[in-house]
Structure 1
Amino acid sequence: MKQITFEDIYTLGKIAAENTHYRHIHYPEMLIRYDSNFIEFKTLPSLTEFKEVEKYLRDYHLKRGQKHVKFYFPANIKPTEELIAYLTDMGYEIGFLELYAIQPKHFPSVRNNPDIDIQVVTDKNLEVLLDLQYQNDLEFGSEFAKQKANLIKRQFEDQDIQQVLAFYKGSPAGYVDVIISNETVEIDNLTVDESFRNKGIGSRLQKFVMDSFPEKGVILVADGEDTPREMYKKQNYKYQGIKYEAQKIYQD
Structure 2
Amino acid sequence: MRKPTFQDIETIGHVIEENERYRHYHYPEMPIRYDSNFIEFKQMPLLEEFKQAETFLKEFHLKHNQNHLKFEFPENEKPGPELQKYFDDSEYETGFLELYAIEPKDFPAQQENSDIRVVEVTEDNLDAFITLQYEADKENGETFANEKVKLNQKQFAEDQNMKVIAYYKEEPAGTMNVIMTDEFVEIDDLAVHESLRRKGIGGRLQQFVMNRFPDQMIILVADGEDTPREMYQRQNYQYLGFKYEVQRVD
- Fold shared by both chains (TM-score > 0.5): yes
SS for the counterpart of 2:98 is strand
C-alpha displacement at 1:4, in angstroms?
1.2
What is the alpha-carbon distance in structure 2 between the residues aligned to residue 247 and residue 158 of structure 1? 30
Please state if 1:77 is matched with 2:77.
Answer: yes
Please state if 1:174 is matched with 2:177.
Answer: no
Aligned partner of 2:150 in structure 1 is 150
Aligned partner of 2:97 in structure 1 is 97
Alignment of 1:187-198 (within 5 A): 187-198=187-198
TM-score, normalised via structure 2 length? 0.99
What is the alpha-carbon distance in structure 1 between the residues aligned to residue 85 and residue 29 of structure 2? 34
What is the alpha-carbon distance in structure 2 between the residues aligned to residue 212 and residue 117 of structure 1? 15
Alignment of 1:1-252 (within 5 A): 1-250=1-250
Structure 1 segments (4+ residues) deviating >2 Å = none
SS for the counterpart of 1:149 is helix
What is the alpha-carbon distance in structure 2 between the residues aligned to residue 130 and residue 101 of structure 1? 27
Gaps of 5+ in 2: none
Gaps of 5+ in 1: none
In the alignment of these two chains, the number of paired residues is: 250
TM-score, normalised via structure 1 length? 0.99
C-alpha displacement at 1:192, in angstroms?
0.4
- Percent of paired sites with the same residue: 55
C-alpha displacement at 1:119, in angstroms?
1.2
Q: Which amino acid aligns with 1:184?
A: F
What is the alpha-carbon distance in structure 1 between the residues aligned to residue 203 and residue 247 of structure 2? 31
SS for the counterpart of 2:7 is helix
Q: Which amino acid aligns with 1:232?
A: Y
CA deviations on 1:52-107 (whole Å, 9 max, x unpaired) are: 00000010000000010100000000001000000011010000000000000000
C-alpha displacement at 1:125, in angstroms?
0.3
Q: Which amino acid aligns with 1:111?
A: Q
C-alpha displacement at 1:10, in angstroms?
0.5
Q: Which amino acid aligns with 1:131?
A: T
CA RMSD of aligned residues (A): 0.5
SS for the counterpart of 2:82 is helix
What is the alpha-carbon distance in structure 1 between the residues aligned to residue 60 and residue 210 of structure 2? 41
What is the alpha-carbon distance in structure 2 between the residues aligned to residue 119 and residue 185 of structure 1? 17
SS for the counterpart of 1:220 is strand
C-alpha displacement at 1:130, in angstroms?
1.0
CA deviations on 1:127-185 (whole Å, 9 max, x unpaired) are: 00111111000000001101100110000101100000000001100010000000110
What is the alpha-carbon distance in structure 2 between the residues aligned to residue 36 and residue 136 of structure 1? 19
